[in-house]
Chains A and B, each alone.
Chain A
Amino acid sequence: MSKPFALIVEDDAMLADIFSRALQAIEYETEIMRDGRVASEWLQKNVPELLVLDLHLPFLTGDDILNQVNVDTRFAATKIMIVTADALRASYLNGNITLTLIKPVDVSQLQKLAHRLKPKPTM
């Protein structure tokens, strides 16, 4: 059985590393993308199980990626986790967001939530 895939879109290298390690510790396969445009291109060909998305991104904002994912039915099963420092902006977001975490993010909380979001194993 393959591990669920998590795409981490976060421009800060350290935070991306922390999220990645935390998710790997609970059996996620992870990929880090630090630029909105690259992430957007990647998402045109791939569908992750979990999308960890920062809002402030270079070239293309988290909002844009969110809009792209929201209108594409391929992502119907993808869980979206917004991770942002901007609580106000997060409260104005629309779309199929599974949950929003305000930075600084508690690693154990992230792990707990991400674990819950794992797809149920198909028999």
Chain B
Amino acid sequence: MAVKLVTEQTKTLTSGRFSDSLAPPSILTKDTTIGELPAHRYQVGVNTVVAQVEKTLRLYPILPGVIVTQHDRMVNVISRRRFFEILGTRYGVAVFLKRPIEIMIRHVEEPLILPGTCLIDEAVHEALRRETILAYEPILVDFQAHGFQLLDIYTLLLAQSQLFATLQQELQTINVDLEDRVARRTEELTRVNSRLYLEVAERKHAEKHLEVRIRYEQAIAQSADALLAAVDQPEVIPETLQLLLQATGVSRVFLSKNVQIEGRGLCLVLTHQVCSPGAQTIPKDLQVLPHNENKEWLDAIWSGQTLLGNSAMIGGSIKQLLTQLGIQSFLLLPVGKPGDWYGLIGLDETAVTHTWKNDDLQLLQTVARMLYTYIERQRSRDALTQAKNEAIRANQFKTELMAKVNHELRTPLGAIMGYTQLLQMGAYGPVAPEQTDPLELILSSTNALSTLVNSLLDQAQLEKGNLALENRPFSVREMAIEVDSKVRILAEKTGLTFKIIIEPSFPEEIVGDRMRIEQIWTNLLSNAIKFTEQGYVRTHIRLQGTGQWLIEVADTGIGIPEEVQASIFDTFVQVDGSATRNRSGAGLGLSIAASIIELMGGTIDLESILGQGTTFTVILPLNMVDND
């Protein structure tokens, strides 16, 4: 039976270097299988003489043992150690050496067979699980179709230890990496921590700042509310100063005002002050500061500057003032605008040195602006109220004057009229024929004047709003007779046809202010006569629809230009200047008539064609006598 050596083994065998052949590959991982480790394929048939095997094993000390086969099938494995043990027994050489190896097989155990895919770890585990005596026996690696190989247990253990070392190294690397990462992380954490710490501190600071800010904003908002809405509320100023006191936490807040004082010139006069508990108020003798004695610092303020400082750092005329008032820190803020400096807001701190913050300044400047707005508004309101009151007084005076003048005019008018009439009547002896006309002229002029006076009184009363209307039953027909008796003479004197037509179905009695209606009607008629040179003046009275009646006065006079028609019912309007001269009248009649008609709930309207005539229509509500 020939010895069968496989190529890899040949290579291994011929290399002759034990360490090389036994050493596992330098790169081992936990995934390395036993199939990758160096192994040996020394096989002999069952009939091979023991001496032959003994010779080979002695020649190749790296061979872990021999695989015994029969008909190419593995029968058993005899390890090197077991082989020489058996030979070394008493009579071993004599018994076995010249005989086939088959007989030795009976003296060995079954080998541990593991697949080539088995991991080193597992293989070690399996190998060392064997009985102590067998624990170091080689392992038979089963390569399936590629047959078997013998793996020396030392190779396996070496690989295992090498792998372990590698793993440990790896672990160490991982460890180092981990440590590194932990260190980095720790550092990061520390950084984050300190940043957080900083942030917290910052936030705390910000919160405190915010608190102050909120306090200030509230103060601004509250004073804005008060200052921007207030009208005629003097308490809004001390309230605002109180808010400033609370927001800034100083000892004293005050408002001073520029006032011209006789003999002292322009002075800064304290008008309001509020103090925190325990703080002193500004004494009387320091409440008025003449401008010329404090020019040095006041000039700066009246140039629009905010003045602030600590008494320790300041000199000049203000220093004396600060010392007198025991002021440590101060802030003076102008109220007003260039050309109109109302005064100043002052903040004093008497207890400690106050550091004026931007917030202080912002708050104060805002409030100073709002305060000035309030003062300006109040001023213009006062001016407005004064102007209004003056206007009312003037109008009242005018109305009263008018009433008084009316009254005072009536008495002498009465005398003129009375004596003229007495003269006409012959009460002072017979009237010569040539005296009749002048007497008549005196009388008619006086009548005109009397009518004007009546109109003025009506106007005055209309303006006073106390023209009282009467509501009594009266007969329109009776009124017409009265009017006719007064007006007909005038019309016929100028050669006009005059006619009053009352609708036959018109009620006998209606309710209203007969005197006023008669006055208006007479007025319209005498106007018509005045402005008509030829033709007629006609008047109609009739019912208009239900609940109304109308008086129509139509003439064939000069007419009223269209552009004048709209304003003809306004006070003191006449057709034109020339008409005024020829035809007496103050232009009061129509405006009064219109006002009274309106007061009665009626309307007055006109239609006119220039050169052809005018028709006035008065429509009044019809009030019947209540029969119940």
Which residues in A have some Cβ–Cβ distance to B below 8 Å?
Answer: 12, 14-15, 18-19, 21-22, 25, 56, 85-88, 91-92, 102-108
Contacts and interface: CB of A to CB of B under 8 A. Distances in A.
A56 B470 CA distance: 23
A14 B415 contact: yes
Contacts of B425: 25, 107-108
A103 B414 contact: yes
A104 B427 contact: no
Contacts of B427: 21, 25
Interface in B401-442: 406-407, 410-419, 421-422, 425, 427
25 contacts: A12-B414, A12-B415, A14-B411, A14-B415, A14-B418, A14-B419, A18-B414, A18-B419, A22-B418, A25-B427, A56-B407, A85-B406, A85-B407, A85-B410, A88-B466, A91-B468, A91-B470, A102-B410, A103-B414, A104-B410, A104-B417, A104-B450, A105-B417, A107-B417, A107-B418
Given A21-B427, A25-B425, A103-B413, A88 B418 contact: no
B446 interface: yes
Nearest to A13: B415
A12 B410 CA distance: 11
Given A15-B415, A103-B410, A108-B425, 9 more contacts: A12-B411, A14-B411, A14-B418, A18-B415, A85-B406, A85-B410, A103-B413, A105-B414, A107-B425
Contact of B457 (A87, A92, A107): A87
Contacts of A104: 410, 413-414, 416-418, 446, 450
User: Which has the most chain A C-beta neighbours within 10 Å: B413, B419, B421, B461?
Assistant: B421
Contacts of A92: 468
Contacts of A21: 422, 427
A102 B422 CA distance: 19
Nearest to A86: B407
A53 B412 CA distance: 17
A106 B417 contact: yes
B625 to A, nearest CB: 21
Grouping DSSP codes into helix (H, G, I), strand (E, B) and loop, the A interface class, with mixed when no group exceeds half, is helix
Contacts of B468: 88, 91-92
Contact of B421 (A85, A86, A108): A108
A85 B411 contact: yes
Contacts of A103: 410-411, 413-414
B365 to A, nearest CB: 60
Contacts of B406: 85
A15 B411 contact: yes
A101 B461 CA distance: 19
Given A103-B411, A104-B414, A104-B450, A88 B419 contact: no
Contact of B418 (A15, A87, A102): A15
Contacts of B446: 104
Contacts of A25: 422, 425, 427
A105 B418 contact: yes
B422 A107 contact: yes
User: Which has the most chain B C-beta neighbours within 10 Å: A25, A56, A88?
Assistant: A88
Nearest to B412: A14
B155 to A, nearest CB: 145
B414 A15 contact: yes
Contact of A18 (B418, B457, B470): B418
Contacts of A14: 411-412, 414-415, 418-419
Contacts of B413: 103-104
Contacts of A56: 407
A85 B425 CA distance: 24
B57 to A, nearest CB: 162
B440 to A, nearest CB: 13
A25 B418 CA distance: 13
A15 B412 CA distance: 8
User: Which has the most chain B C-beta neighbours within 10 Å: A14, A15, A92, A103?
Assistant: A103
Contacts of A91: 468, 470
Contacts of A108: 421, 425
Interface string B339-374: 000000000000000000000000000000000000
B402 to A, nearest CB: 12
